[in-house]
Amino acid sequence: MSQKRQRAGFYFILPWLIGLCLFTALPMVAAVYISMTDWDIVGNAEFVGLGNYITLFQEEEFIRSLWVTVRYAVIAVPLIIATSLTIAVLVSKNHKGTGVFRVIYYMPAIVSGVAVAIVFKWILDPSYGLLNGILAFFRIQGPDWLYDPDWVLPSYLIMAVWGAGGGLLTYLAALKDIPEDLYGAAMIDGANTLQKVRYITVPLMTPIIFYNLVLGIIGAFRKFTDAYVLGGAGKEGNFYMVYLYEEAFGHYRMGYATALAWVLFVIILLLTFVVNWTKKYWVYSE
């Protein structure tokens, strides 16, 4: 193939390259500068050096929102992985109607956003909500959920577990790749279902679990929509991104909010590295 033709490829990727410069590289450089200023959009930016980064570690709300987010991530991410893995194993069997069940479990990946958050707010209503209504049927006095600081986190976890099926497809694809004869061989050796899951399915699924772990951590730290709509008593629903949004577009502290964004970026990066480092201890590779 001719040199000239090869060069044409460059023109094909040009739009992306322009986007990279305009919407990623330039804003990133600008973000470094903005994070070192005191800027409320209207006035001029006042250079404060690392001031914002020092301030944020002293702000109570920063610590609280980070703590809310970390606690959520630590519990929700493994919970979501375990739930979607279980669902995937269940619906990987080809019985009559499996297809219908797959679509139902997968629904939260498509059907999400503000509407679903509102529905959950209603379900979790302490007096007239569905959840406490069902609990009352079993003679259990349900908690005040989003209105009780201690129960805000569990409320978000309930939503997270409900939505876990959204990650179903990657697991299903990986399950399909496990060779059937492995299970056959295990059966001849007299393994029961639990042993098969423990010694064949889970080890062979570790690469995809790893992938979902990384994405899950990122997703948890970027949680916004649900938290913005639901809130929670005692500011326990003030997730990191909600805090960042409020600082930037509620209080117009652009410099400070950009510093918050960088801190988030560094946290995500560090966690990704840490998880990547643990890879060699538990992720199966051929």
Partner 1 sequence: MGRVRLVLWYIVVTLGAVIMLLPFAWMISTSFKAESEIFTVPIRWLPSRITLQNYVKALDVVPIFKCMLNTLIIAIPKIVGEVFVSALVAFGFARFDFKGRNTMFMIMLATMMLPYEVTMIPTFMVWSGLGFSDSYVPLVLPAFCGSASFIFFLRMYFETVPRDYEEAAWIDGARNLTVFRTVFLPLAKPALVTICLWSFMGTWNDLLGQLIYIDSQEKYTIQLALASFSSMTGETLWGPLMAASFMALIPVIALLLYAQKYFMEGVKMGGIKG
Tell me which of 54, 111, 187, 270 binds partner 1, using CB under 8 A.
Answer: 111
As measured in angstroms, the least distance from the Cβ of 237 to partner 1 is 13
Tell me which of 75, 261, 271, 275 binds partner 1, using CB under 8 A.
Answer: 261
As measured in angstroms, the least distance from the Cβ of 146 to partner 1 is 13
Nearer to partner 1, 16 or 277 (CB): 16
Among 46, 60, 68, 25, which residue's Cα sits nearest to residue 254? 46
Task: Report the site for partner 1 in 210-239 (rule: CB under 8 A).
Answer: 211-212, 215, 218-219, 222, 224-225, 228-229
Q: Judged by CB under 8 A, does residue 5 bind partner 1? A: yes
Q: Judged by CB under 8 A, does residue 41 bind partner 1? A: yes
Q: Judged by CB under 8 A, does residue 24 bind partner 1? A: yes
Q: Judged by CB under 8 A, does residue 245 bind partner 1? A: yes
Which helix (DSSP H) or strand (DSSP E) does residue 159 occupy? helix 149-162
As measured in angstroms, the least distance from the Cβ of 67 to partner 1 is 19
As measured in angstroms, the least distance from the Cβ of 27 to partner 1 is 4
What is the DSSP secondary structure assignment for residue 42, as one 8-state letter? Answer: S
Supply the DSSP string of 193-229, one letter for each residue: HHHHIIIIIHHHHHHHHHHHHHHHHHHHHT--HHHHH
Q: Report angle CA 270, 157, 110 to the nearest 5 degrees.
A: 85
Tell me which of 157, 197, 264, 275 binds partner 1, using CB under 8 A.
Answer: 264
Return d(Cα 204, Cα 175) in angstroms, integer.
8
Among 173, 163, 172, which residue's Cα sits nearest to residue 80? 163
Contact 88, 168 (CB under 8 A): yes
For residue 216, give both structure tokens: 């899950």
Binding characters for partner 1, 47-86, by CB under 8 A (x = yes): ----------------------------------------
Tell me which of 74, 82, 109, 274 binds partner 1, using CB under 8 A.
Answer: 109
Q: Judged by CB under 8 A, does residue 114 bind partner 1? A: yes
Return d(Cα 160, Cα 266) in angstroms, integer.
24
Q: Judged by CB under 8 A, does residue 183 bind partner 1? A: no
Instruction: Using DSSP, state whether 2 is helix, strand or coil.
Output: coil
Q: Judged by CB under 8 A, does residue 93 bind partner 1? A: yes
Tell me which of 55, 112, 203, 204 binds partner 1, using CB under 8 A.
Answer: 112
Task: Report the site for partner 1 in 134-163 (rule: CB under 8 A).
Answer: 134, 136-137, 162
Return d(Cα 141, Cα 195) in angstroms, integer.
39
What are the residues facing 47 on neighbouring strands? 37
